[in-house]
Structure 1
Amino acid sequence: MRRSKIIVGIAALTTAAVAVGTAAAAVVLERAAVGVHNNPLRLLGLVQASYAPGCVPAVNPIACHVNGRAWRLQSSGAAWSARSDGVNGYRFEVRPGDHWAKDVGHAGFKERAELSDLARMPYGKDIWLAFTLEVEPGPPSTSAWVNLGQLHATADRGEPATSPPWVQRLLPNDRFQVEVRQTHEDPIREAPPPIVIFEDPKLERGRPYRFVYQFRVSQEQDGMVRLWRDGVLVADYRGPLGYPDKRGPYFKFGVYRAPAPGGERMAARYSHVTLGPEPPPDG
């Protein structure tokens, strides 16, 4: 009986959020741990990703279908935060004060609109990630860092959250770089320093860039990150990648940043997103 009441309560909460579609409803859902992998609401994303390509709903989605995988939105719930956009595509926008409910109370009050993969990346196996990324025109970023896609570690119990093992970062004045991290420290006490594998001194706003990645997360020398940008191999990292966690990391993409002193908004479009064990058609 108690289990039935819980299921009914979850269904009612979800239905209310879809129907209302307000920031307040999104906050309620996030406080119920939508986007946290061990929450029963993740099942909605799994079902949706199996049967309905795109996002439900199309604006501020509870769940999205990306290449047959289920993803959950982490955002403030603002009307501009996220929406379906084009072929396997998504538009994200962050404005000052756009805090995900689970970020509130943490140092810095980060701002984000990201889709988070429900599946964990396997250790020692090749995974391909591909997408076309366009950062919309606007003033140069004044944020200390903006994550435009990351591989988020699954910290073991008692460990602090750490910087991602792989991340695309937009730094002040739109300097773009790709970083990887690795450590054998267990338990992890602090994030290891980044290894920069690719850098562009000035990301061109309004230009679509095609990124194709080949990953192998491993604590051994067979770890790997290879990057092709616009069809050209620009990074080929070989060596340990990631942290000695019991469970593998998971992908996130969108816009996630430290607060911007300049107060600028930032929007990014991702399209033709694929993720899986096989290279994309243009791989």
Structure 2
Amino acid sequence: MSDPMADFKTHAAEKKRPRRWIALILGGSLALASIVAAAAMSTQEGRGVVVDAADALKSVPRHLRTESNPELIQGENPRFQVQNAGQPWNYAVKGASARFEVRPGDSLPGDGKIKERSEIATSLRMKPGRPYEVAFNLMIEPGPPNTAGWMTLSQIQSTPDPGEPGHSPPFAIEMVGERMRIITRDDPNRVASRETTTYRAHYTDSRPIERGRWYRMLIRVKFGPGGDGYLQVFRDGQQLVDYRGPLGFDDIVGPYWKEGVYREAAKEPFAARFRNLSITPG
């Protein structure tokens, strides 16, 4: 006897097949819509992250930012950090030339009121035991005589090891009144200290520097705190320093170049210009 429901079941099954495909199509469409929505959300979130990062960068004041300028710094790494009090006169760059000026009160928060500065610090770390050549032009602008107790215009600053107290630079071009002085420091100990650091004054001008004049400076240096270091300094082709012996600190990471005006607080403004800086391995 035939099943009276057979035709119905067959018909019902035939009726259900399109619905199954419809369900699959609808399900696929919903899944695709979810993927598109998720992608849109991810894209939106990604944009949000980019916007947040851009806003965060904008929130860092330019006088404390890290920048890159291959025209200003010619070498393996043209990146540098700007360090000044954020005043409009502190720092200006045009092409391969940079101008630095400090006035009374131009101090960074960590310096207190006893120090004033407008400098840049390069990101390039000089490798220990490797010779380097640093060349640049320097001009001190006309102005009132320098009365700061101490001042550096250029320095190669060390990178203290973890847990080691900071130390003064192993190389510096200083101003003593209106005269240029070139000094170094060295300490062969694994952990340096003021008590074990040797200070060496290699050269001091016999007469005041000429303001408004561009000087061409050339430095050849290799740091070697154990005694195998050397330093040669030339100004306008004339050799001012020719030294061989202990130089620098026994640090894991090598030192880096800084230029600008860094001084003990003083009553008068002081401005210097630098241009055509190049840092190359010897």
Q: TM-score, normalised by structure 2?
A: 0.76
- Aligned residue among 245, 265, 270 for 2:269: 265
Tell me the equivalent position of 1:92: 100
Superposed displacement of residue 12, structure 1: 1.1
In structure 1, stretches of 5+ residues that fail to align are 18-24, 35-41, 55-64, 279-283
- Structure number with higher helix proportion: 2
Q: Is 1:66 the equivalent of 2:73?
A: yes
Taking a change above 3 Å as real, the CA distance of residues 6 and 143 of structure 1, as seen in their structure-2 partners, is farther
Cα contact 2:135–2:216 (8 A) shared by 1: yes
Question: 2 CA distance for matches of 1:9 and 1:182?
Answer: 45
Tell me the equivalent position of 1:123: 128
Tell me the equivalent position of 1:13: 56
Instruction: Summarize deviations over 1:112-157 as a string: whole Å, max 9, x none.
Output: 1101011111111111101111111112111011110001111112
Cα contact 1:85–1:271 (8 A) shared by 2: no
Q: TM-score, normalised by structure 1?
A: 0.76
Taking a change above 3 Å as real, the CA distance of residues 222 and 253 of structure 1, as seen in their structure-2 partners, is same
Q: Is 1:141 the equivalent of 2:149?
A: no
Q: Is 1:179 the equivalent of 2:179?
A: no
Taking a change above 3 Å as real, the CA distance of residues 185 and 222 of structure 1, as seen in their structure-2 partners, is closer
Q: Is 1:213 the equivalent of 2:219?
A: yes
Cα contact 1:128–1:212 (8 A) shared by 2: yes
Cα contact 1:127–1:216 (8 A) shared by 2: yes
Percent identity between the two aligned chains: 34
Cα contact 2:102–2:118 (8 A) shared by 1: yes
Taking a change above 3 Å as real, the CA distance of residues 184 and 222 of structure 1, as seen in their structure-2 partners, is closer
Superposed displacement of residue 103, structure 1: 2.6
Question: 1 CA distance for matches of 2:252 and 2:49?
Answer: 30
1:152-171 equivalent positions in 2, closer than 5 A: 152-171=157-176
Q: Is 1:239 the equivalent of 2:245?
A: yes
In structure 2, stretches of 5+ residues that fail to align are 1-41
Superposed displacement of residue 9, structure 1: 4.1
CA RMSD of aligned residues (A): 2.5
Cα contact 2:187–2:198 (8 A) shared by 1: no
Cα contact 1:160–1:190 (8 A) shared by 2: no
Taking a change above 3 Å as real, the CA distance of residues 186 and 274 of structure 1, as seen in their structure-2 partners, is same
Tell me the equivalent position of 1:59: none
Task: Name the amino acid aligned to 1:183.
Answer: D
Taking a change above 3 Å as real, the CA distance of residues 184 and 75 of structure 1, as seen in their structure-2 partners, is same
Question: 1 CA distance for matches of 2:222 and 2:234?
Answer: 15
Superposed displacement of residue 6, structure 1: 7.8
